[in-house]
Chain A
């Protein structure tokens, strides 16, 4: 358990101080580095991680193994595209092809799979014993002698006692000897922007990256994505994107901006924020990380411009969602993201030309505010509080 605490020590991939030599209280010479850094402290320069934009899935991809490890172990950023959370496809594939031992360096998915098999085996054994007990009872009632195989201490059939490793055995009919590294770490746009603002990530990709602020690039890519395009086509029929000024189709409730505002809000409070699609919500919040405990909160984002809410829930949708979240022992939180009014937003967007990119991004974000409402089902005659 302490190994986990050691590996996932750092909350963010950001080093606050350079590593200092050990201090010995009785030897004044060892005090000198500490005094020096106390008087002349400067945040060390961060070594950024490289990533590239994937426009088709609105994400950023990291392929370097060391970078992936660094991003995952300090703050649980990103997700392996072929794994449940941390990229483990390489190890699992090698094991399924027999290129890795049965119990060597097990990863999360394999531990879960084995546990499930053990439980299934245990249930099968229990069901068999219960059936034997029933048949024994019938024999006794009929006054017959209980046969040997039905007796209480009889042996279980072979299928229920053979080792579990046989059902997880490796299969390599084509005799593959080498498995390439085909998995990458995928970061969502809010994650990539957050890391970039810390100086830990450099986003490489399409043209005009150096001149345009990252916030603008991500908002534009999101607005132009095929999923959202029909809205814009309906409003500006017949035009192509090159003719339109971005401020015409980047709305205050642009999905990227709303998600970013909420992401920043929760990350600043120390939560680890991950995607919540599997529970039909937007975000899942972990107290320290997926490795330590299950997610406590399930966040649903509801963007509002002034009093207007683009998407609202009908009573049965909210009820259904609340039941689903309650069933998995999480708490539903409705997160209302208050976006600036369209005129103000347009004005703020124009200021891009005169401001430093990060100052401008800060200005845009500061105009978004968050209000959270927690929902819990309450039955008057069950709960006494």
Chain B
């Protein structure tokens, strides 16, 4: 066998070794997905069995027609760094260019601090600090802000006071303080609702368990299976190419041997 053919065989062996490892992972994950899917169906069946009166079947009749995905795919290079992908700084390893599927919750930032800050501005202490700032900035406001107790229960006077403070801030062209900025911010958009809420407020435990199993399938198993699928398909292409190269090298080798034999025959005749 020629050097080229043996090198191609070696490459094929390496690729097949990797391919079989991926196949093993694929079949294992398939088994896990089957178990998780069975758990989902079991939980759904239990939920339907224990459904409250009025609920016929936990199914498409209750789907929200304006649903928004709260779990979305992110497809990136193998190392999973979106920045590197954007700048085209891939690894030198050819396998690094193969896409990897990951499932992320959407919207990406939970922004748990936002509601806190909003609530902080609406409480008494927040308006107290604002009134102090207003005192410093505009003397006219002294009487009003000084007169109004931060802990006053009169809502209307408080709101008028806040409006005036905003106007004062705008007139002065000062950079608004963190609290006023938060006030000016539009209210956070309505987050996509939890699909469990489509089926009512008090959903049975079994339905929540079904959701838990489904999240496991969607977040852990399905993206990995999709990644393996793409990776295996890429290796299949590489193996076929390597086999073609090997066949070509073998053909060339056979041709060369035949030519040599021909030449040797001529030598015999002339001798």
Do these two chains interact?
A: no
Interface positions of B (Cβ within 8 A of A) = none
